[in-house]
Each structure stands twice: as structure tokens, then as C-alpha cells.
Amino acid sequence: MRWKQIKSQFDNEWVLVAVQKFDENYELIEGEVLYHHKDKREVYRKMAQLHGDPQTPLTIEYTGEIPEDLAVML
């Protein structure tokens, strides 16, 4: 599923995605949604339960708008 479709289908939710394609900046282009929830803690819990293929990268993304005054640390 393309990122635009994921954002549309799971609006304002956290999604756990098995990445199928990303760009040169490692931003998601396409993937398979494994889990979604409004509460990001639930998505992290689900990720911890999965025992998938270590060759398949996973990402957790938020499909809503992030407020401009919010700082994100990685």
C-alpha cells in the first residue's frame, strides 16, 4: 500500500508498517500495514510481540499532522 493510501485509510493514527519501498532519505513510499491504533503505546506493544523476518524493515509512522511547536527526538 502506498504511503498516501495508508495516510488516507488510517487518518490520525499510529501505524506499524513492514517497509516494501523507501526513498533515498529512508522515507516510506510503500509498505504493508501490520497494525494501527490511535495510541502509539499500543503500536509499540504490538511491534514487541511480532517475530517477523529480520530482513524486513519495520517503521512506526503517524498519519496525522504534527503540530509545529512539537519537538521530535530520534
Question: pLDDT digits over 25-66, tens only?
Answer: 999 999 999 999 999 999 999 999 887 777 889 999 999 987
pLDDT digits (tens, 9 = 90+) for 8-18: 999 999 999 99
Domain span at 45? 3-62
- Tell me the three cell numbers of residue 6: 495508508
Q: Indicate whether 41 belongs to any domain.
A: yes
Q: Indicate whether 37 belongs to any domain.
A: yes
How much is the pLDDT for 56?
85
Q: Sorting pLDDT into bands at 50, 70 and 90, what band is 74?
A: low
Q: Indicate whether 56 belongs to any domain.
A: yes
In this predicted structure, the answer to whether residue 7 has a pLDDT above a threshold of 80 is yes
Q: Indicate whether 33 belongs to any domain.
A: yes
What contacts 40, CB < 8 A, 6 or more positions away? 14, 60, 62
**What is the three-class DSSP state of 4?**
helix
pTM: 0.86
Q: Indicate the number of domains in the chain.
A: 1
Rounded Cα distance, 66 and 12, in Å: 10
Instruction: At 68, give phi and psi (nearest 5°).
Output: -60, -30
Q: Indicate whether 8 belongs to any domain.
A: yes
